[in-house]
Chains A and B, each alone.
Chain A
Amino acid sequence: MVWATAFALNKWLLYGALSVVIGGTATMLLWTPRRDIRAQVQAYLLPATVAGPLFAATGFLVQVGTFAEAGLPGMVDPLYLSILWQSPAGAVALLQSLGFVAALLAALCLLRHYRRWATALWLLGTLLLLLPFSWRGHTVDASLWVRAALSLHVGLAAWWMGALYPLWHLSRHGDPALYGDAMAQFGQLASWLVALLAACGTWVLYSLIGGFGPLVQSGYGLSMLLKLALVATVLLLAAQNKWRLVPRLPATAAGLSGSIRAEMLVGVAILLVTALLSTLTGPGH
């Protein structure tokens, strides 16, 4: 249980770094004013791209320790290191690390304002980071479509969660007359992408538990309801931003900033619940 909890918490941090590089980079490419990019890349993207491979490596070593069953020294047991490296766990750690390296290069290109290179490297990094979700974990035996839907779900969620910090920064330090358009464009795009995110999530959940009845009949289902309650909260906040606060800018600038901050906090809680759900329990419970 200790190893599983450590793995879940590491996964939570990894989800955070993944969200920053996917959503943060996209938002900086699309809406962050040129003068603000350098500071945000240094404060937000670069730390995540450096921490990401460390979380990927730690996650791998924690799994080695889990199977070696020899305490902390078991994390570097040569036999189990070799076995885990040849298993999907090794491939996942490698892909994730390469994804974060591509994201690091994208961040460096952003610093130099090489936007095309940054976009291409961001796309490559995103692909590498999302691939492992399709062939590891609870959906490993599901159809290719369900596994692809899970990767898309993760990618869209990461895009949304990672976009919040740059948007919050914009709402605090920008001129409402100028950033209003960026917020409106984000809201427009998000309404489609969040609908797709919810549809993919619903489909994956339906496939995993074989219907919606088990949501209230199993421990896993009840845990999932906690995540769904948090998701409903973040959706309400997003709806409030899109339909009430953004159209009334600049009068609602302070309210919008507070609402995005609340979205970020609920988002962090959603990532934690997701990490715990996918590690400590499963559809069979």
Chain B
Amino acid sequence: MLKLSLVRFLAMAGFIFSTTLAAHTGLQGSSPADGDQLSQPPASLQLNFSGEVRLMRVSLEEAKQGEVKLEFMPTAVAEKNISLPLPALADGEYTVSWMAMGGDGHKMSGQFSFEITTEN
């Protein structure tokens, strides 16, 4: 009886808590911004968070050519505004994926896209 009640309770708790992790601090803005259509390739990638975070992972992927290698090494330093140099980027559709530790210690992640079209 007790075992059955415990199983029911765990099942109910599992259902209630089956939400995704909360994003307590968020990405407030970026450059390039999500959905930007650029005529010039950007020299750097800037991520602006609403609070200090420890950026753990960032990757850049072009839709056809695949991953673009970035000079990024995670550190223990918490920052609100992060700037990363970018290599020379060709025309294409790019997606930035990032993952960070928020000020409260929780994991947060997200992605956004931009497009470069220099030929007209």
Which of the 9-residue segments A21-29, A149-157, A269-277 touches chain B? A269-277
Which of the 9-residue segments A105-113, A132-140, A190-198, A246-254 touches chain B? A132-140
Is the pair B104, A281 in contact by a Cβ cutoff of 8 Å?
Answer: no
Is the pair B13, A87 in contact by a Cβ cutoff of 8 Å?
Answer: no
Residues of B in contact, count (CB < 8 Å): 28
Given contacts A86-B76, A222-B16, A272-B13, contact A282 B101 (CB under 8 A): no
Q: A82 on the interface (CB 8 Å rule)?
A: yes
Q: How far is the CA of A272 from the CA of B107 in the complex (A)?
A: 21
List residues of chain A with CB within 8 A of the CB of B13: 226, 272-273, 276
Is the pair A79, B74 in contact by a Cβ cutoff of 8 Å?
Answer: yes
Q: A67 on the interface (CB 8 Å rule)?
A: yes
Is the pair A282, B56 in contact by a Cβ cutoff of 8 Å?
Answer: no
Q: B80 on the interface (CB 8 Å rule)?
A: no
Chain B interface, DSSP helix/strand/loop, else mixed: loop
Residues of A in contact, count (CB < 8 Å): 39
List residues of chain B with CB within 8 A of the CB of A284: 22-24
Q: A175 on the interface (CB 8 Å rule)?
A: no
Q: A32 on the interface (CB 8 Å rule)?
A: no
B120 CB, nearest partner CB in chain A, Å:
40
Q: A223 on the interface (CB 8 Å rule)?
A: yes
Is the pair A141, B51 in contact by a Cβ cutoff of 8 Å?
Answer: yes
Chain A interface, DSSP helix/strand/loop, else mixed: helix
Instruction: Point out the residue from A140, A141, A281 that lies within 8 Å of B17, measured CB to CB.
Output: A281
Q: B75 on the interface (CB 8 Å rule)?
A: yes
Q: How far is the CA of A89 from the CA of B107 in the complex (A)?
A: 12
Residue of A nearest to B100 (CB): A67
Is the pair B76, A89 in contact by a Cβ cutoff of 8 Å?
Answer: no
Q: How far is the CA of A283 from the CA of B20 in the complex (A)?
A: 13
List residues of chain B with CB within 8 A of the CB of A88: 105
Given contacts A87-B76, A136-B105, A222-B16, contact A285 B22 (CB under 8 A): yes
B17 CB, nearest partner CB in chain A, Å:
5
Instruction: Point out the residue from A63, A136, A141, A280 that lies within 8 Å of B21, measured CB to CB.
Output: A280
Q: How far is the CA of A4 from the CA of B18 in the complex (A)?
A: 11
Is the pair A89, B74 in contact by a Cβ cutoff of 8 Å?
Answer: no
List residues of chain B with CB within 8 A of the CB of A281: 17, 19, 21-22
List residues of chain B with CB within 8 A of the CB of A276: 13, 17
Q: A214 on the interface (CB 8 Å rule)?
A: no
Is the pair A83, B75 in contact by a Cβ cutoff of 8 Å?
Answer: yes
Residue of B nearest to A82 (CB): B76
Residue of B nearest to A4 (CB): B21
Can you list, as one digit per residue, whether each of B1-36 has a CB less than 8 Å from chain A (1) or not (0)? Answer: 010000001001100111111111000000000000
Is the pair B16, A63 in contact by a Cβ cutoff of 8 Å?
Answer: no
Can you list, as one digit per residue, whether each of B44-64 has a CB less than 8 Å from chain A (1) or not (0)? Answer: 000000010010110000000
Within 8 A of B (CB), among A101-149: 136-138, 140-141
Is the pair B103, A83 in contact by a Cβ cutoff of 8 Å?
Answer: no
Q: How far is the CA of A85 from the CA of B112 in the complex (A)?
A: 30
Can you report 14 residue pairs joining A to B where beta carbons are below 8 Å apart? A1-B21, A80-B56, A87-B76, A89-B101, A89-B105, A136-B104, A141-B104, A223-B16, A273-B13, A280-B19, A282-B22, A284-B22, A284-B23, A284-B24
Known: A66-B107, A83-B56, A87-B54. 16 other contacts (CB 8 A): A69-B99, A79-B74, A83-B74, A83-B75, A83-B76, A86-B76, A87-B76, A88-B105, A92-B105, A137-B105, A141-B51, A219-B19, A226-B12, A226-B13, A272-B13, A283-B22
